[in-house]
Chain A
Amino acid sequence: AQSVTQLGSHVSVSEGALVLLRCNYSSSVPPYLFWYVQYPNQGLQLLLKYTTGATLVKGINGFEAEFKKSETSFHLTKPSAHMSDAAEYFCAVSAVTGGGNKLTFGTGTQLKVEL
């Protein structure tokens, strides 16, 4: 079984400040890890993913995340927040084994960016 825990359902940062959204996962098999973003009234868009290889993953819009197996974490960061980053962010995990791309999502973190 797999699960994802996102710490903090709401995070507020100032424009230009560091963004840190936390994600911890549980998986009995090597995981694939994802961050998706959802803007209001839209579907989900992939920000970045970790499958294998380099543990520091760079995504779109200046976001990056680091896979830390020892901490079972996959936190999302961005050095400098922009107003356009305000959205809901979802961390997700899927199993390396088995078929399909069924993802298990966290409950999401709403990011607010203030002037």
Chain B
Amino acid sequence: EAGVTQSPTHLIKTRGQQATLRCSPISGHTSVYWYQQALGLGLQFLLWYDEGEERNRGNFPPRFSGRQFPNYSSELNVNALELEDSALYLCASSLGGGPNTGELFFGEGSRLTVL
């Protein structure tokens, strides 16, 4: 069974540009989570989507946005890139909504470098 897949693996952009990262969850999972892992800052929660809707958002500016498609895949967009956006962006999936059941399944991440 395929795990969570993310693309691209690496992405290099310059300040002010836009970046788009993509994630395909495990088959049967309807929830997708995005985390930012910047050097020295651990994992910071960005966004949670379930059944096509944004359910929760972390403490990030509006230039971080995303969406979830009918097939439950998701995309993260970062507009007006800044140098500090350089990080590993991790996508995770889980069974959908409802009471908290625990485990997130992570992809290997997309490394964004902003020059």
- A residues apposed to B, CB below 8 Å: 32, 34, 36, 41-46, 49, 51, 90, 94-108
Picked from A99, A106, A108, the residue with its CB within 8 Å of the CB of B55 is A99
Q: Are A105 and B43 in contact (CB under 8 A)?
A: yes
What number of A-B contacts does a CB cutoff of 8 Å give?
77
Q: Are B100 and A99 in contact (CB under 8 A)?
A: yes
- B residues apposed to A, CB below 8 Å: 4, 31, 33, 35, 40-43, 45, 48, 50, 55-56, 90, 92, 94, 97-109
Q: Are B45 and A96 in contact (CB under 8 A)?
A: no
Chain B residues with CB below 8 A from A36, complex form: 106
Q: Are A43 and B4 in contact (CB under 8 A)?
A: yes
**Nearest B residue to A46, CB-CB:** B103
Q: Are B42 and A107 in contact (CB under 8 A)?
A: yes
Chain A residues with CB below 8 A from B4, complex form: 43
Chain A residues with CB below 8 A from B94, complex form: 100-101
Q: Are B97 and A104 in contact (CB under 8 A)?
A: no
Query: A43 → chain B, closest Cβ, in Å?
Result: 4
**Nearest A residue to B33, CB-CB:** A102
Q: Are A100 and B55 in contact (CB under 8 A)?
A: yes
